[in-house]
Amino acid sequence: MTALKSSSSAAALPSRTLWLAALAGFALAALLSLALSPRAQNTVFDGWQWLAPRDLSASDVRVVAIGDESLDVIGSWPWPRRVFATLTQRLTEGGASAIGFDIIFAEPDAVSPSRFSRLYPPDSPATEAWLDGLGSMDDEFADAISTAPVVLGRAGVTLGGADPAGLTQWATITGKPPAALPRFPLVQRNLETLEQRAPGFGLLNGKPDSDGRVRGVPLVLQTGEAVVPGLALELARVALEQQSGADTEITMAPGSVRIGDRTIPVDESGRMRLHFAEIPQAHVYSAIEILSEDFDLSQLRGKTVIVSLTAEGSPDIVATPLGSEMFGVLVQAQAADAIRRGGWLVRPMWSKAAEWIAGVALAVILLLLAARQTRGRMTWAVLAGAVLVLPMASWLLFSLADTLFDPLRPLLLGSGAALAVFGALFREARRERAVLRDAQSRSEGELGAARAIQLGMLPDRAALAKLDPRIDIAAQLEAAKSVGGDFYDIIPLDSDRVVILIADITGKGVPAALFMALSKALSRSVMLRSPGDLADTAAMLNAELMRDSGDQLGLTMLLCLIDLATGRVEMVNAGHDNPLRITTAGEVIDEPLEGGPPFCIMDYPWPAEHLTLLPGEALVLITDGVTEAQNRQEQLFGTKRTRDALVADQSSAAAMVATLCGEVRTFEDGTDPSDDLTVVAFRYLGANPG
């Protein structure tokens, strides 16, 4: 027979294979992580911003919005420069520390008197001279900004701009610029008269991320060969100079921009990543409010003010982590405040390194647990814990330290390695199951052949009916497995004497079947050549079994020698169930025998015991597979049910055997048999049956 062995997949797979699978899964997860970044990271970080926007209630930055209300009062856009001159004067009178225009004044004032006189020539030279004497509104605006802490906006462009080499009055920035600083070959500038008078300039450029959302503001950019400030940085510089009265230096270093005593982290493109906020409504004024004589200008003392067009249809609307629509001036205002008070987000090298280290640690832990199948629940518990702990750590770092830590990367790395190991284990388990199924199929075929051989060793049931007209005999054996340890035999010794034996090996399956074959062969051999009585024959059989079987299984046996001429039965019981006698009246009686221990245990003087069957009486021999059969409630079939089954149909030996076996199987109700089942019944019909 083929011996079947089972082993766990983890034990079957060498540790080197598991580590290689984990490494492959980790590598694929790492590539996927790099491919998903920064989109996946932005999803997490944007979520944190949405949950905890920055508090700007203490901000010193104010916004002057040129909205629909102001346009309704002043008139359509663009406004006369005289309005901007007045607006600048009002802000200066209020004591603003810096005034930024998120607007480029590239075209001359459309309603200046000189332009008006060219469009509509007056009839008299005196009128024309009077109009020319009024001067330009652009000059009025230039005069206003020349005495105020004003920062005008410029824009880096690739076409239609001025050569940056000819521009002056950029703030001086020293140090090594960021590696991927955006560079613009040309600059869209303001009118020359304004450019000559403005104290400072800042670029308004700010490219969104690949998904269209703005998450940061450039502090420095490059135009031509010069590194220049963005609007927010220049406003901060001007405000610091106004407050301190001294020049404020801007210095670059790898990964940072320093202004005054504040060092601001920037990425490789010179961008500061913002912790966004909703600008308080109290920090936003309409232009018409500022121009009103009733407005309390003291509200603006020491404040940084940014002026911008916010009317309906304004193109300066961007998407941010807080929503799909925010005026660009509000982003600039937050950037100016962050430079002064702090409010940027950082993603330091240790944060990135921690993500990879956490991923490797999680992968190793999950690998070690996954490789031990007994720790399956622990594996999922650790993974579930990581799903909770890593996002919580990311949230705490964001909310308490404005630090960005990506929890998805270590989760992806760890689970990728673990899934690869699970896949390897699953594949190995499937391979083992396929091998086991194939082995089982072969084994079942071999066991089927063995069963056929075993049953072929038993007396032919059809031949039993023709054994002798003086006896009606039938038998049935059903193994608990494909092969079993029960057997019976019918051995004619001469014309009148027949040995009927039934035996039970103390075990099941292949070992019991092998011992059964040996025991049956020895039993028949001893019976046919024994010269003595049945007791001597039993002792001889035990000696043969003990000599040939060594330390094999024990054997119970009931030997019956019936003389068909007289009905006398001589019996030896070696640890077996007593026979059941069925009288001519149909009563079932247990025939108690003194007997002795099973064979193959010790030498013992088994006694030969006698009874005489009357014509019509029968003996039924059974193994304990009958009385010890169990149902789903683990109840035993027992001797009472055995006797009741034998009462049901006593028409023939075959009927008694079939009824008893059928009742046992019905009682078991489909449960697996606990033992082999064997029944032999014979009825003595008399010396001269009619």
Give 620-637 pLDDT, tens digit per residue.
999 988 999 999 898 999
Task: Give the pLDDT of residue 4.
Answer: 35
Task: Give the pLDDT of residue 137.
Answer: 86
Among 166, 310, 150, residue whose Cα is nearest residue 238: 150
**Per-residue pLDDT averaged across 647-672, rounded?**
91
For 167-198, write each residue's pLDDT tens digit: 877 899 999 999 899 999 999 999 999 999 99
* Residue 560 pLDDT grade (very low, low, confident, very high; cuts 50, 70, 90): very high
Asked if 513 and 373 sit in the same domain, the reply is no
Task: Give the pLDDT of residue 516.
Answer: 82
Could you give the C-alpha distances from 446 to 289, 458, 507, 513, 676, in angstroms and in order? 101, 19, 20, 13, 19
Task: Give the pLDDT of residue 639.
Answer: 92
Asked if 89 and 190 sit in the same domain, the reply is yes
- Burial of residue 270 (CB within 10 Å: 0-12, 13-18, 19+) is buried
Among 415, 373, 315, 451, residue whose Cα is nearest residue 6: 373
For 206-237, write each residue's pLDDT tens digit: 999 988 999 999 999 999 989 999 999 999 99
Asked if 486 and 620 sit in the same domain, the reply is yes
For 372-409, write each residue's pLDDT tens digit: 654 457 777 888 888 899 999 999 999 999 999 999 88
Residue 446, in any domain of the structure: no
Residue 69, in any domain of the structure: yes
Residue 125, in any domain of the structure: no
For 418-453, write each residue's pLDDT tens digit: 777 666 666 766 777 787 777 766 766 555 555 666
> What's the helix, strand, coil split of the chain in %, to 5?
45, 20, 35
Judge whether 521 and 541 are in contact, CB under 8 Å. Answer: no
Asked if 367 and 472 sit in the same domain, the reply is no
Q: Residue 129 above 80 pLDDT?
A: no
Q: What SS3 state is found at 497? A: strand
For 245-367, list the strands marked E by DSSP.
250-253, 256-259, 262-265, 271-273, 284-286, 304-309, 317-320, 323-327
Range of the domain at 286: 55-108+145-341
Q: How many domains does the chain have?
A: 3
Residue 166, in any domain of the structure: yes
Residue 450, in any domain of the structure: no
Asked if 312 and 359 sit in the same domain, the reply is no
Asked if 359 and 391 sit in the same domain, the reply is yes
**Domain final residue, candidates 376, 399, 433:** 433
Residue 133, in any domain of the structure: no
Task: Give the pLDDT of residue 489.
Answer: 92
Q: Residue 12 above 90 pLDDT?
A: no
Task: Give the pLDDT of residue 232.
Answer: 96
**Domain final residue, candidates 399, 433, 467:** 433
Asked if 278 and 360 sit in the same domain, the reply is no
CATH number at residue 667: 3.60.40.10
**Domain final residue, candidates 341, 372, 400:** 341
Asked if 331 and 187 sit in the same domain, the reply is yes
* Residue 6 pLDDT grade (very low, low, confident, very high; cuts 50, 70, 90): very low
Asked if 285 and 167 sit in the same domain, the reply is yes
Asked if 388 and 530 sit in the same domain, the reply is no
Asked if 42 and 64 sit in the same domain, the reply is no
Residue bearing the bigger pLDDT, 274 or 134? 274
Distance CA 522, CA 514 (A): 13
Task: Give the pLDDT of residue 9.
Answer: 44
Asked if 529 and 567 sit in the same domain, the reply is yes
Residue 134, in any domain of the structure: no
Q: Residue 10 above 70 pLDDT?
A: no
Q: Residue 585 above 50 pLDDT?
A: yes
Q: Residue 18 above 80 pLDDT?
A: no
Q: Residue 593 above 90 pLDDT?
A: yes
> What backbone phi and psi angles, to 5 degrees, belong to 568?
-75, 135
Cα angle for residues 342, 344, 346 (degrees, 5° grid) = 125
For 140-177, write each residue's pLDDT tens digit: 999 999 999 999 999 999 998 999 988 877 899 999 99
List all residues 6 or more positions away from 289 whose beta carbon is below 8 Å from its beta carbon: 295
Residue 296, in any domain of the structure: yes
List all residues 6 or more positions away from 441 whose beta carbon is below 8 Å from its beta carbon: none
For 77-88, write each residue's pLDDT tens digit: 989 999 999 999
